[in-house]
Amino acid sequence: MSDTKVLKLVPKGKVKVSEAPAPATAPAPATAPAPVEEKKPQPVEEKKPQLKTFRPAPITRIEPASVPKPPAAPPTASKPAAPERRQRDKSERRERRDQPRLSREQLLAMYRTMYLSRRLDDKEIQLKNQNKIFFQISGAGHEAILVAAGMALKPGYDWFYPYYRDRALCLQLGMTPLEQLLSAVAAAKDPNSHGRQMPSHWGHTKLNIVSQSSPTGTQLLQAVGCAEAGYRFKLIKELRKRASNFRKDEVVYVSLGDGTSSEGEFWEALNSACNLKLPVLFLLEDNGYAISVPVEVQTAGGDVSRLIKNFPNLFLQRCDGTNALESLAVMKRAVQYCREGKGPSFVHAKVIRPYSHSLSDDEKLYRCEDERTADAERDPLKRFSAVLIGEKVIDTDGLQKIKDEVDALINEATDQALASSQPDPDTVKLYVYSPDVDPTSKEFDTEAGVELSGNAGTMVDLINRCLHTEMARDARIVVFGEDVADCSREEFLDQVKGKGGVFKVTANLQRKFGSARVFNSPLAEANIVGRAIGMATRGLKPVVEIQFFDYIWPAMHQIRNELAVLRWRSGGDWKAPVVMRVPVGGYLKGGAVYHSQSGVSTFTQIPGLRVIYPSNALDANGLLRTAIRCDDPVLFLEHKHLYRQAYNKSQYPPDDFMIPFGKAKTVREGTDLSIITYGALVQRSLVAAKQAEQQGVSVEVIDLRSLQPYDWSAITASVQKTGKVIVAHEDSLSFGYGAEIAARIADELFEFLDAPVRRVAATDTFVAYAPQLEDIILPQVADVAKAITELKSY
C-alpha cells in the first residue's frame, strides 16, 4: 500500500490523518498516452458528504527565509516547553488558522480543472500523432500546484509570467479549452499569439497573462520589472491618479522549472526583487529534470531553495506540488505575504513529469523504469481522486461523470479548433513595429526652420537637455542603469557634485526628478533591459543606459528574444517601447578591445528594433526626443569620441524639436562621387571631401543618422546624381553594416553606377590599445581620401 497520507473529514471540523485508499484508477502512463476514447455520460446519484466545508491539515514544512531559527537549547525536566518548541507550536497554530476552507463544489472544481488540463495534454498528443498539429509540450504532473496557484491569485488583477508547463494555471485563471486548442492548431483567433508561437506559450490580455517566449528564464526579470512598475507608480506623485491598471496589493506571479534556476537571470531577478521588496511570487516547479539532465547535475546540492534561503525579505516555502490541498495552503500563504507588502515569496514545489519533456523527447532513453513507476505513484490526479473518494466528497461514479463531461467538452472544442481559420498570409508583417505611431512620419519632423538659442553645447549637453525636457513633459519616463544617478545615498546629495553617468550624460536628473525616476541598477545588463521590458508593458517609459556597447552582450537574450519580438509574437497584444542609450565606438586612444566596439550590424538585422546613430549634438537631441516619443524599442547609439568634440556642437533647439527616423541628411553637396556614412566617419569623410576638392573632385556626403530604418530614397538620389559611391563605417569590413547598403545599391541601382561600390571600414580584427595600432585598425581620413582618388579614376 502507498504510504501517501490524506485528509479525513470528521464532525465539527476536526481533522484526522489516515492511510490513502487504493487508487480508483490506473497510474498515469510514463510515456505519451493512447488516443482518448470517448465515453457517454451516465447519470449517477451522488452522495452528499456530512460537512459542507473542511480545512486541510497544517503544513509543517515551511521555511521563511527572513525568520531565523532559534538556537537549540537542551531539554530540561523543569522546562518541557523549550524555545524552539514554543516557536514551532506558534507557527503551527498560525498555519491552522490560515488554512483555507473548501466547499464540496470547490474541491470538485479543483479536480475538474486538473483533469481538464491532463486531458487537453492527451488530446494534443493525439492530434500531433495524427499530424493535425505541429508541436506539443505537456504540463502533466504539475496540475495540483498550478490549480492551487490559480485559486490563490486573481485573474485580471494580478499579473502572470508563466512558463510552458502552466496549462492548468491558465485554465484556472479563465482561459478556455478552446483557446488553448486554438493555439495548438495555430489559429488566427488564438488569444495567446494568433498563430505566431508554439503551443503552451501562454498570453492573454484580459487575464493579465503577459506573452511568454521560449528562452527559459527570460520571463523572470520581466516579472520583476512588472512588479517594479507598480512600486514606481506609488512613488511618483504625478502618476498616482493615472495608475488605473495598478492595484495597491497586486501580486506578480512568475514560474520556472528546476533547470531554469541555473540561469544567471534567475539570480538577478531574485536579487532585485528582494532588494526592492517587490510583490513577486516565484514558483519553482521542480520535476527533477531539465529535459534529460537531473537536478543534482544542474544545481549544487540538488536543491536550489537551500541555496537561496539567506536572501533578505524572501518568504521561502517548500511543498509537495502533487498534493493539491497542501499546495493550496502554501500558495495562499505565499500570496498573502506578497499582498501585505513584505517582499517576494518563493515556493519550491516538488512535482513529477509523467510524460517526456515534449513529443520531441523520449524519457525512456535516460530514466529507468523504477524511477518512472515511482513518479506514477505520486500522480496528482491519482492522489486527489483518492482524497475525494476517501473523504466521501464524491464516489467513483460521480468522478466518472466529471471525466465524461470534460472529455465531451474537449472533443467539442477540438472540432471547433480544427475548423477555425488560419492566419491570413498578408498579416505576416503586421506588428513588427507599432501600427499606431510612425516615427518616420512628418508628425516627428520639426527640423525645417528650427530656431536655435543659447550658447553652443556638446552632444553630451544636448542629450542631457533632451532628457530633462522630456522627463518634465512625461512623468512616465524613468531613467536607470549603471552609475546614472547623481548619488544613490540621497542623504549625501547636498555634499557631493554627483556622478550622472560615466560620461555625465545623465547629470542632475536625479536631483531634478527624484530617486523614484532616476536610479542606479545592479551591474548586470540583462537585469537593466529585462526589468525595463516589464515596466514598459505596464505603461512606464524606461530610458535605460548600457554603460558601454562592449558590455551589452549579456542583455542580448532580452533584446533579441524579448524586447524586439514582443509585439510581433503576441499579434500586437503586448508591447515594450524601451529606449536603450548606449555609448559606442573607438578613436579614444586607449579604449582597446573592450571600450571601442562598433558592431551595429548585429542589431540592425533584428526586426522590431529601431537603431539610431547621430553624428552631432543637434541631431542627437532631435533623434533622442523622437526615440522617447515613439512606440517602438530603440537602440540609441552615442559615439563616445563625438560626445565633446567642438566641430559637432550646436545651440539649443526648442523642447518640441524632433527628427524623424529614416531621414538622412546631406551634409555636403557634390556631383562626382557619393559617400554614404554615419557616426564618427561623417567628420572624417568631410575632411577627405575637402581635400579632394583641392584636386578638382566634387564629393557628396550623406549622413544616414538612422540605421534601421535607413533613408533609401536619399541614397538613391545621390547615386543617380554622381554614379559612384563609397560606403564608409567604423564596423569591420566583412559582414559590417555597409555590406547591406553596398549590396542593395548593386542590386537596385546598378544601371546608374559608373564604377563598383567601394567600402571603407575597419580591419577584420579587434581594436588594439597601442595608438599606432588603433590608427591602422580604424578607418582614418587618409583611407577615405585614398578611396576617393581610386574611385574617381576608375
Catalytic residues: 595
List, in order, residues 6 or more apart from 246 with CB less than 8 Å away. 229, 230, 233, 234, 538
Beta strands, E only, 426-473: 453-457
**By the 8 A CB rule, do 636 and 623 touch?**
yes
In whole angstroms, how far apart are CA 531 and each of 68, 205, 262, 282, 432?
Answer: 30, 19, 19, 15, 22
Residues present in the chain in total: 794
Please, is 668 exposed, middle or buried when counting C-beta atoms within 10 Å of its C-beta (0-12, 13-18, 19+)?
Answer: middle
In whole angstroms, how far apart are CA 356 and each of 130, 144, 169, 240, 511?
Answer: 18, 18, 20, 48, 55
Max Cα separation, the chain?
A: 108
Cis peptide before 709 (omega within 30 of 0): yes
3-state DSSP assignment of residue 784: helix
| All cell numbers assigned to 291 | 529535459
Cα–Cα nearest to 53, from 6, 96, 4, 99: 99
Strand order in the sheet with 518-520: 518-520, 477-481, 541-545, 579-584, 634-639, 610-612, 706-708
**By the 8 A CB rule, do 706 and 613 touch?**
yes
What is the rounded distance in angstroms from the CA atom of residue 438 to the CA atom of residue 688?
36
Backbone φ/ψ region at 590: left (φ over 0), alpha (ψ -120 to 50), beta: left
What is the rounded distance in angstroms from the CA atom of residue 614 to the CA atom of residue 623?
7
What is the rounded distance in angstroms from the CA atom of residue 223 to the CA atom of residue 199?
21
Beta strands, E only, 310-351: 315-320, 345-350
Strand partners, 281: 253, 345
| All cell numbers assigned to 310 | 539567506
Cα 710 from chain centroid (whole Å): 28
Cα–Cα nearest to 466, from 477, 451, 481: 477
3-state DSSP assignment of residue 638: strand
Alpha-helical regions (H) of 340-419: 369-377, 380-390, 396-418
The pairs formed by 518-521 with CB atoms below 8 angstroms and a separation of 24 or more are 518/478, 518/479, 518/480, 518/484, 518/485, 518/486, 519/478, 519/479, 519/480, 519/484, 519/485, 519/488, 520/480, 520/481, 520/482, 520/483, 520/484, 520/485, 520/488, 521/480, 521/481, 521/482, 521/484
- Name the phi and psi angles at 773, rounded to 5: -75, -40
